Amino acid sequence: MGVRVFFAVKLVEPIYSIIETVLLNLQQKLSIPIRWSAAENLHVTLAFLGQIEAEDIERLIQYASLELENQRAFYLKFQRLKLFPNKRHPRIISLGVASNPNLNAMAAGLKQAILNLNYSIETRPFRAHLTLGRIKNVHPTDDLLEPIALPFIPPMPVKEIHLLKSRPSQTCSDYTSLAQFALN
């Protein structure tokens, strides 16, 4: 039976608390139908596999370890709130993440680990972001996010990468860490 997995950076304190406050603020200010991400599930996805055979997980962990063994710890810088794919037909509210060579190298390395197992990878360019909510069939006439101010969010240290198992449901997904990869 298949397991739905992906590689991600999980939030750490104090960033977690700051972004949890941002999420609560958005929930209060936006009255359109949105399926909000659970604060404890917030993460930056590096590589998404979708369904993988359970027996391939150990080999995936080995390949990922090889790809990540020389990667150094770094800082993530969060940017502004964004709507995907665009403001006129938004489907996702996210918090942007500044481009970072370390993050980009890790995403590319993890995609290679996935290819080594003969699984397909995402072909769109990697754009790091933090999904805050999924918008349901709304076509706003103005920018939903314009009146919303963000607090200062300091750079977040990234010292480990996680392989997460996802169990989606109607209300939210449940994530379990299958492996952690410490960075130098």
- Between strands 156-158 and 78-84, the pairing is unpaired
Residue-range domain boundaries for the chain: 2-182
Q: Does the domain formed by 2-182 have CATH 1.10.150.120?
A: no
Assess contact for 93 and 132: CB atoms under 8 A: yes
Task: Find the catalytic residue in 89, 129, 139, 162.
Answer: 129
Burial (CB count <10 Å: 0-12, 13-18, 19+), residue 136: exposed
Q: State the pLDDT at residue 133.
A: 94
Contacts of 16 (CB under 8 A, 6+ apart): 39, 42
In single-letter form, the type of residue at position 76 comes to L
DSSP state at residue 181: E
Q: State the pLDDT at residue 104.
A: 95
Which two three-digit tokens encode residue 119?
Answer: 């699984």
Q: State the pLDDT at residue 50.
A: 85
Q: State the pLDDT at residue 148.
A: 85
* Catalytic residue check, 129: yes
How confident is residue 141, by pLDDT bands cut at 50, 70 and 90? Answer: low
* Catalytic residue check, 139: no
Q: How confident is the model over 147-174, as pLDDT tens digits?
A: 788 999 999 999 999 999 999 877 778 8
Q: Helix, strand or coil for residue 62?
A: helix
Assess contact for 38 and 172: CB atoms under 8 A: yes
